[in-house]
């Protein structure tokens, strides 16, 4: 039976046991999964390794676990996928965080564009979503959520990007075998000025098909194609 995965803040390398006082984890273990002394879980510390552990104590206030085995996690994304995603409406943005994490996105970069309706995100909730999606999908590392920037600030860097727009060249995933940074627009799409800016900066523009996709659909689709 597949063991449940949980990320912890402490580094586990070189230790034989660990004590956990995180109230959220304790609640999950004791109330949600009904675990107890002698049960096994997999702990992850975002290092790319996983640690199979056995509970030696589990109370409302703390848990103690013995580390039985360390092994390399085989579900780490094979390349860096940086998604520069316009801040969407709450439910749509969170859906992309969840599904993008499951599909191997390594970095989420929230950006503000001329048609962005929301100007901020709940970082704590966003981190909880990617942590839980990482645990559920068996990833050995969690995606990074980068502080919000404007599109202008993003494009002022020397990074190489691709952008998604329905009038672009048809996307061919076989062209992309290395790390990639992809720009995904807001619900209202890129403005004409932003499209012109992409062209001015020689940023390739790609289409995902002949239909108009919702922003969250495009973000999930490109995650799948790059996985």
- My answer on whether 56 and 87 are in the same domain is no
Q: Range of 96's domain?
A: 81-226
* CA–CA dist 220, 104 (Å, integer): 11
Residues 85 and 20 in one domain: no
* Same domain as 101, residue 36: no
Same structural domain, 14 and 37: yes
How many domains in the chain?
Answer: 2
pLDDT at 162 over 80: yes
Predicted confidence (pLDDT) at residue 1 exceeds the cutoff of 80: no
161 close to 185: Cβ distance less than 8 angstroms: no
> What is the SS3 assignment for 163?
strand
Q: What is the pLDDT of residues 125-154, one digit of tens each?
A: 999 999 999 999 999 999 999 999 999 999
Q: Does 121 lie in the same domain as 10?
A: no
Same domain, 142 and 172: yes
Same domain membership, residue 205 and residue 93: yes
- Residues with Cβ within 8 Å of 217's Cβ and at least 6 positions away in sequence, in order, are none
Residue 10 has pLDDT above 90, yes or no: no
CA distances from 41 to 21, 46, 86 (A): 16, 16, 36
- Say what the pLDDT of residue 73 is: 87
- As a whole number of angstroms, the distance between CA 51 and CA 70 comes to 5
pTM for this entry: 0.91
Distance from C-alpha of 134 to C-alpha of 129, rounded to nearest angstrom: 8
In this structure, what token pair is assigned to residue 152? 């202008």
* CATH code of the domain covering residue 14: 2.40.240.20
> What is the pLDDT averaged over residues 40-49?
93
Domain-ending residue, one of 21, 41, 72: 72
My answer on whether 55 and 88 are in the same domain is: no
CB contact burial 59-77 (16+ within 10 A = b; e otherwise): eeeebbbebeeeeebeeeb
CA dist., res. 84 & res. 107, Å (int): 8
| Range 103-119 average pLDDT | 95
Q: What is the CATH number of the domain that holds 146?
A: 3.40.1280.10
Identify the domain boundary among 41, 72, 103: 72
Burial class (CB in 10 A: 0-12, 13-18, 19+), 108: buried
> Tens digit of pLDDT for each residue in 165-220?
999 999 998 888 899 999 999 999 999 999 999 999 999 999 998 899 999 999 99
**pLDDT tens, position by position, 50-104:** 999 999 999 999 999 999 999 998 887 778 999 999 999 999 999 999 999 999 9
The Cα-based distances of 49 to 18, 46, 70, 148, 152 in angstroms read 16, 7, 7, 29, 37
Among the candidates 48, 72, 96, a domain finishes at 72
């Amino acid at each position: 039976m597949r063991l449940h995965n949980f990320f912890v803040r402490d580094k586990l390398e070189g230790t034989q046991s660990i004590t956990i006082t995180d109230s959220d984890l304790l609640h999950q273990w004791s109330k949600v999964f009904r675990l107890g002394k002698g049960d096994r879980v997999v702990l992850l510390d975002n290092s790319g390794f996983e640690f199979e552990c056995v509970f030696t104590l589990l109370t409302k206030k703390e848990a103690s676990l013995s580390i039985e085995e360390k092994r390399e996690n085989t579900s780490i994304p094979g390349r860096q996928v940086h998604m520069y995603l316009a801040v969407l409406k709450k439910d749509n943005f969170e859906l992309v965080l969840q599904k993008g994490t499951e599909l191997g996105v390594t970095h989420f970069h929230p950006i503000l564009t001329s048609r962005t309706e929301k100007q901020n995100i709940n970082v704590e909730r966003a981190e909880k979503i990617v942590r839980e999606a990482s645990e559920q999908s068996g990833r050995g590392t969690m995606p990074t959520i980068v502080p919000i920037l404007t599109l202008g600030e993003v494009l002022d860097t020397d990074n190489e990007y691709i952008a998604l727009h329905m009038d672009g060249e048809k996307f061919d995933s076989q062209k992309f075998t290395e790390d990639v940074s992809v720009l995904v627009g807001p619900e209202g799409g890129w403005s004409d000025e932003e499209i012109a800016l992409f062209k001015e900066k020689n940023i390739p523009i790609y289409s995902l098909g002949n239909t108009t996709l919702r922003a969250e659909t495009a973000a999930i689709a490109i995650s799948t194609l790059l996985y």
